Amino acid sequence: MLLVVDVGNTNTVIGVYAGEQLMHDWRIRTVVNHTVDEYGMLIYNLYRSSQIASHEIKDIIVSCVVPPMLNIIVPLCEKYFNIQPLIVGPGIKTGMPILYDNPKEVGADRIVNAVAAFEKHKRDLIVVDFGTATTFDYVNKRGEYLGGCIAPGVMIASEALFERAARLPRVELGKPKNAIAKDTVSSMQAGIMFGYAGLVDGLVERIAFEAKAQPLVVATGGLAELIAPETKSIAVVDNMLTLEGLRIIYHRNTPRHPGVKGA
């Protein structure tokens, strides 16, 4: 089995693959000050509850946008699985040309998402990832990553309202009934939800105009299912896109040096 790990700024998503089939997946909080053993026991309990034994994990691939977390994840893999993980980064084979001024600047999660989306749809597309930041990435019909844009994430905007406006409460995100809302909470929900739907549609339209294309728009991330129905542009929601991209990139880099230490 293959263990895939996507470390984001807010959450870490973990999946276990048997061949091409995703057997289990979990989402936990990214906590930089946790120890190796704290994370190790948390992950151990997750796959133990799913009746997976550590010796069944034959290799591990990791994408990470929080560099200090690699000081936890890599020793965790070595200690609890006796495996040196494959890290998505410069030098790894993605099968996708990265036409960015400095390819090293592109977040690993953005590349992984782009690889998975193009492999699935085989056409020009825009990937919208609703994470801590909301990212937009364009891949042309030749499967080349051309770049994209980054906006503040939905939760960042919501928290900013609460923290910077004295009389505004912290609200849970939910689908508002109307843009002309009749109370403060509904007004904030409407502004956030409809506002971000408009942001998505506007940026998608701008990217498509610049690319002179009509790309498929694929959304992923924790809030994709909530926001996508309010947009005009998102055609596909795929919450497992990043995990699938990690699996694809792993197989594009095998056979590689055996992951088991001492093998």
CA dist 53 and 84 (Å) reads 18
Concerning whether 37 is annotated as a catalytic residue, the answer is no
Q: Tell me the three state secondary structure of residue 210.
A: helix
Number of H helices, E strands in the chain: 7, 10
Q: Give the bridge partners for 219, in sequence order.
A: 128, 237
What distances in angstroms separate CA 221 from CA 25, 139, 184, 210, one per listed residue?
Answer: 14, 18, 27, 25
The conformation of residue 250, written as its DSSP 8-state character, comes to H
Closest to 32 in 3D by CA, of 56, 68, 80, 81: 68
Beta bridge partners of 138: 126, 147
Helix (H) or strand (E) holding 188: helix 184-211
169 DSSP 8-state letter:
P
**Which residue in 6, 59, 109, 137 is the catalytic one?**
109
Cα(59)–Cα(81) distance, integer angstroms = 9
Active site residues: 109
